[in-house]
Chains A and B, each alone.
Chain A
Amino acid sequence: MSPEHKHIVKSFDQDLQRLQVLFMELNALVILQLEKASMAVIEHDKHMAKKIYEDDDKVDAIEFEITQFSLRLLAQRQPLGEDLRRIVSAFKIATNLERIGDYAENMAKRILKSENHRKLHESNPFRQSFLTLTKVVMNRLEEVMKAYVENDAETAQKLWKKDEEINEFYWQSFQEILNFMIAHPQDIPFYTDLLFILKNLERAGDRISNIAESIVFIKLGSLKVKKEN
């Protein structure tokens, strides 16, 4: 729908604007959590990990606020058409963002609980793989939420397809780490932790893909533009 067609009831537009602001807050927080998790993994920073663990409550609180707000919008506005799709999708998108927050928290927990973890030094052959994957996930998250705000189904569709790249990168790293573990059995506990951490990033990629799918649905009312095999 063309953006110039505003709702006759102006406060409905303001409500939808408010929903976007809440999503931006949630997204900024989740990206920060991922960034901190990345640093905590590299530096084996337990203090940072603890902070991530504590801040997960903030992520949950914004997700809850979005849920409550969307419920109110459903009851109050009784939306139809694209508005209905947007508000119903808000529940899903908020859940997906919250789960990405949980993955950052999972990474932090592993650092806090595992006795095997240590710094990922520059000399570590997998430091770069980990940093690359983290960066890709954070960038994708930023892009997908930009597409959400701009109601840009085309970009969302591209990002949806790009999830395969994250999966491939993860499996490639997985295989390399596995081979490394076979060659260096004394490091198995540490690299097992790293595999779990990478798996969390791969799962975050899946969640981003879900968000992209929701954006396509909001705009088109269907999942017409199919994922290419």
Chain B
Amino acid sequence: MRVKEDPFIICAKDVSVFIGKSQLIQNVHLSFLKNKVTALIGASGSGKSTFLRCLNRLNDDVDDFKLEGEILFHEKNIYDNQTDLVSLRTKIGMVFQKPTAFPKSIYENVAYGLRLHNLTKSGKECDEIVENALMRASLWEEVKDRLDDEAYRLSGGQLQRLAIARSIAIEPEVILMDEPCSALDPIATARIEELIDDLKQKFTIILVTHSMQQAARVSERTAFFNKGILIEEGASNEFFTNPQNELTQRYITGRG
């Protein structure tokens, strides 16, 4: 008998987050479908980025950080004491708002994660993985003849695609993106959005964005956070034309 595969890759169950005495997230239940793009939207301070960072335990180093509830990745709670953080972060990668490059070559920027996690065996294998990652990140054609150039010479849009290449080189299952286009021009943004569309064939993407139009364009599911509470989650097709909650309606139509 075939076992039906769980459609959800990550399930947050009754998650509350505290920093010191202040509660940033309240009792959030939210599951993420495999190979889909889910957008998290909400005003600044709504808790969406905090929540995103909980998904690969990036908040662990924050002073007085405390999480209640469970975040299940393949049905195992990532907040268990036994969780190997390095391994977790190879499976759940992160692309940040501000595209940053290490002061190294384009090649080394992509190979960095591989070396960090001891994921390569030979130089040839590394070359192949770097090329493949750059191709998947739609950057290969632009950099293939200058892989040894310093990465900082790339444009903002190219740097963000380099960051995505670095992230996918280590073959994660989930890519978290925290406002990946907020510093980019519309053309560079369009390239990233096109890339997200390609990447979801292989990866699950969870995206925090301030642009509701972007969320509507790239995501299949959207979740709206307000003051640390998950107000509404649903299919993006419906979410932006006919949200069910009054607060969502007010937020997406720009009403106070």
| A residues apposed to B, CB below 8 Å | 1-2, 5-9, 12, 78-85, 221-222
10 sampled A-B residue pairs with Cβ under 8 A: A1-B246, A12-B254, A80-B212, A80-B216, A80-B252, A82-B253, A83-B253, A85-B242, A221-B241, A221-B242
B8 beta carbon closer than 8 Å to chain A:
no
Quote the shortest CB–CB distance from A8 to chain B (angstroms).
5
Which residue of chain B is the closest to A220 with respect to CB atoms? B242
Which B residues are CB-close (under 8 A) to A80? Answer: 212-213, 216, 240-241, 252-253
Q: Which residues of A contact B242 (CB under 8 A)?
A: 81, 85, 221-222
Across-interface contacts of A222 in B (CB, < 8 A): 242
Are the C-beta atoms of A82 and B254 separated by less than 8 Å? no
Q: Tell whether, in the assembled complex, residue A8 and residue B213 are in contact, meaning their CB atoms are under 8 Å apart.
A: no
Question: Residue of B at shortest CB range from A12?
Answer: B254
Distance A9 CA – B254 CA, assembled complex (angstroms): 8
Q: Select the residue from A6, A80, A85 with max chain B CB neighbours within 10 A.
A: A80
List the B side residues contacting A84 at CB < 8 Å: 240-241
Min Cβ gap A102→B in Å is 30
Interface check B31, CB cutoff 8 A: no
Interchain CB contact under 8 A, A82 and B249: yes
With beta carbons under 8 angstroms apart, the residue of B243, B248, B250, B253 that contacts A79 is B253
When chains A and B are docked, how far (Å) is the Cα of A6 from the Cα of B255?
5
Q: Which of B198-247 contact A (CB under 8 A)?
A: 212-213, 216, 240-243, 246
Which residues on B sit within 8 Å (CB–CB) of A81?
240-243, 248-249, 252-253
- Asked if B256 is an interface residue, CB under 8 A from chain A, the answer is yes
Q: How far is the CB of B180 from chain A (nearest CB, A)?
A: 20
**CA gap between A8 and B250 in the complex, in Å:** 10
- Please determine whether A8 and B240 come into contact, CB atoms closer than 8 angstroms: no
Q: A192 to B219: give the CA distance in the assembly, Å.
A: 58
Q: How far is the CB of B106 from chain A (nearest CB, A)?
A: 35
Min CB–CB distance A77 → chain B (angstroms): 8
What are the residues of chain A within 8 A of B243 when measuring CB–CB?
81
Chain B residue nearest to A80 (CB atoms) is B252
Listed residue (A9, A78, A81, A222) with the most chain B CB atoms within 10 angstroms of its CB: A81
B213 proximity list for chain A (CB < 8 A): 78, 80
Which residues from chain A contact B248 at a C-beta distance below 8 Å?
Answer: 81
CA distance A46 to B23 in the complex (A): 77
> Are A5 and B256 interface neighbours, CB within 8 A?
yes
Instruction: List B residues 101-120 near A (Cβ within 8 Å).
Output: none
Which residues of chain B are near A83, meaning CB under 8 Å?
253
Bound together, the chains give a CA A80 to CA B212 distance in angstroms of 9
Complex Cα distance A6/B240, Å? Answer: 18
Rounded to whole angstroms, the CA-CA distance of A81 and B250 in the bound complex is 9
- In Å, the complex CA distance between A55 and B173 comes to 65
- Give complex CA distance A221, B246 in Å: 13
Task: Indicate if the CB atoms of A85 and B241 lie closer than 8 Å.
Answer: yes
- In the complex, A91 Cα to B253 Cα: how many Å? 19
Chain B nearest CB from A44 CB (Å) reads 50
Q: Is the CB of A8 within 8 A of B241?
A: no
- List, in ascending order, chain B residues with CB within 8 A of A85's CB: 241-242
Closest A residue, CB atoms, query B256:
A8
Question: Considering the complex, which residues of chain B in the window 59-112 have a beta carbon less than 8 Å from any beta carbon of chain A?
Answer: none
Which chain A residue shows the least CB distance to B248?
A: A81
CB atoms of B241 and A1 under 8 A apart: no
Distance in angstroms between the alpha carbons of A26 and B213 in the assembled complex: 32
Q: A1-B249, A80-B252, A82-B249 are in contact. List 5 more A-B contacts (CB 8 A).
A: A1-B255, A5-B256, A6-B255, A7-B253, A12-B254
Q: Across the two chains, which residue of chain A brings its CB closest to B243?
A: A81
A79 — which chain B residues lie within 8 A by C-beta? 253
Q: Are A5 and B255 in contact (CB under 8 A)?
A: yes
- The smallest C-beta distance from A115 to any residue of chain B, in angstroms, reads 53
Interface contact B241-A6, CB-CB below 8 Å: no
Q: Give the 5 A-B residue pairs with the shortest CB-CB distance, closest first.
A: A221-B242, A80-B252, A5-B255, A81-B253, A83-B253
Residues on B with C-beta less than 8 A from A2 are 246
Report the minimum CB–CB distance from B104 to chain A (whole Å): 40
Instruction: State how many angstroms separate the Cβ of A153 from the closest Cβ of chain B.
Output: 13
